[in-house]
Amino acid sequence: MSGSIAARTGQPILVGVDGGGTRCRARARWRDGTPIGECITGTANILAGVEAARDNIVAAVEGALVEGGLGHADLGRCLVGLGLAGANIPDLSERFLAADLPFARTALEMDAWIACRGAHPDGNGAIAILGTGTAYVVQTGGVFVTVGGWGFHVGDQGSGAWLGHMALRQAALAHDALVEPTGLTDALLAQFDGKPDRIVTFCKTALPRDYGSFAPLVFERAAAGDAIADGILAEATRDIELALNRLVALGAARISLLGGLAPLYAERLSPEISAHIAPPAGDALDGALILAATLLPAEAPA
């Protein structure tokens, strides 16, 4: 290993970083694609704190170098492509880039940008993130557009949190005989001892991920023919298709479905929109590495 490193003395190191709210991932490689290493550290949410995010990002990059036999002294050779939530907020991104970064050069984009670029390396395509929340982004002709992504209170139709919340509301309606009870509403009410006031207590402090914990049950019951579960998913799928059709209208040649609910929704989409769905070519770290490669000097030796 040390021989190959020696042979690359002076060569730039490309590093992709995906900085999320719970963890920061870094992947380092040589310009020709040869892997160096990967590392995962803690939160890199600049919305929660620029300094802590910086520290976890630097630690992740250094960890990836160390895995490949390099180290702290090589940070100054790194061309870093960073995807961070909050990077679209000018004040935050300026403060972050003004912080003391030890890298040769740094390119910063939104987390959704690197996810979309990783899925579609040629820069033409869209992603639909279908998880606890939902978000849609499209890249085409160098232009990056987001659709939705307003969170639990204002958007997130069809998200895991939305599904769980709708299911709980139906359970309360079933309790009051306002809708016909089904296996879904029976199962949900049983989890709250048959008492809607316990659902009320749960909802007072429930976070989106808490609501989302009921989403798998909705899919399970729908597959078993449950009328209420099917109704909830029919509405959710309509809302998701609205967004997917908008991505097509915005010029997306292909759409990749990401997130935990992606395979479950993929089966429910209409043939028309399914024709636009394609698996992602790579992940967000691949997108971050594409971003890092834009920092390479044109005349640098390969």
Catalog residues that contact a copy of itself under the rule CB under 8 A: 147-148, 150-151, 153-155, 157, 165, 168-169, 172-173, 176-179, 196-197, 199-200, 203-204, 206, 242-243, 246, 249
Closer CB to a copy of itself, 44 or 243, in the complex: 243
Residues β-bridged to residue 83: 18, 109
- Provide the token pair at 46: 């600049």
Closer CB to a copy of itself, 178 or 302, in the complex: 178
Closer CB to a copy of itself, 66 or 173, in the complex: 173
> What's the 3-state SS for 43-76?
CCCCCCCHHHHHHHHHHHHHHHHHHCCCCHHHHH
Three-state secondary-structure class, residue 197: helix
Gap between the Cα atoms of 220 and 111, Å rounded: 31
Pairing of strands 78-84, 35-41: unpaired
Question: Scanning the structure block, which residue is given the tokens 């939705």?
Answer: 148
**Minimum Å distance from CB 186 to a copy of itself?**
17
**Minimum Å distance from CB 136 to a copy of itself?**
8
Three-state secondary-structure class, residue 12: coil
82-104: burial string, b at 16+ Cβ within 10 Å, e else = bbbbbbbeeebbeebeeeebebe
Closer CB to a copy of itself, 96 or 152, in the complex: 152
**Minimum Å distance from CB 124 to a copy of itself?**
20
**Minimum Å distance from CB 246 to a copy of itself?**
6
**Minimum Å distance from CB 113 to a copy of itself?**
18
Closer CB to a copy of itself, 48 or 200, in the complex: 200
